[in-house]
Amino acid sequence: MKASLLIGGMMTDMNLLARNKDLFSQINSLTEIVTLNPITNHILMEAPDLKLTDYYIGAGCIAQSIWNYACGLPVNYGINDIDFVYFDSDLSYDKECEVIDKVKQRFGNLPIRLDIKNQSRVHLWYENHFGYPINPYSSLEEAINTWPTTATSIGMRKDVNGEWSIYAPFGLNDLFSLIVRANKAQITKEIYEKKVDRWKGIWPALTIIPWD
């Protein structure tokens, strides 16, 4: 029997809120909720046409789609950008610009900004942006391993046959439990606290685990 709840004007299927469920159920809930968001669904459906072999849609736009669903909020509420990450061993700036232009030409009319980055190049600019150096990533998955929180360390893509690839090194239970927990592999306490302060103001139902 399907249980539903009207929250904030949106009908939420409680069966999709997969806290403390088995991983198979959580993956099914994740894909169903994320594809309810017309913007993320459009990108996931169309991205295979770009012929990029190693990419994900990930991070905040995925987690925040789940948070919005769980809180009965509009599907794109609070989502500032959509992370489109890929991995290419060509470290040239020109090649990255070429891919950025290609992706934006495909999705440039979206109402949410795309943040497109070659994760193999992140170490080249990270220190200037954040104040400390990092080692180069050897793969796209290794990059996701360092993303700021357990709930947002996630990447998703769909191939031309409709098959999902999902990478979530910390699992999905924090995400479905609305728990924000620092992944201390790379970020600093200052970066974490600034990020979660913003999120708590938008999604007050989140449980924020302090850095210390």
- Collapse the DSSP code of 110 into the 3-class scheme (helix H, G, I; strand E, B; otherwise coil) and give the result: coil
Given a cut of 70, is residue 183 above it in pLDDT? yes
pTM higher than 0.85: yes
Predicted pLDDT of residue 146 = 97
Alpha-carbon Rg of the chain, whole angstroms? 17
**Average confidence score pLDDT of the chain:** 91
Dihedral Cα 58, 59, 62, 63, nearest 10 deg: 160
Task: Assign domain 24-203 to its CATH architecture.
Answer: 2-Layer Sandwich (3.30)
CA distance 144 to 140: 7
Task: List pLDDT tens digits, range 67-85.
Answer: 999 999 999 999 999 999 9
Q: Would the pLDDT of 15 be above 90? A: no
Q: What is the pLDDT of residue 53?
A: 84
DSSP classification of residue 89: S
Rounded Cα–Cα distance for residues 154 and 149 (Å): 10
Q: What are the tens digits of pLDDT across the range 104-120?
A: 999 978 999 999 999 99
**Rounded CA separation 211/107 (Å):** 36
One-letter amino acid identity for 196?
V
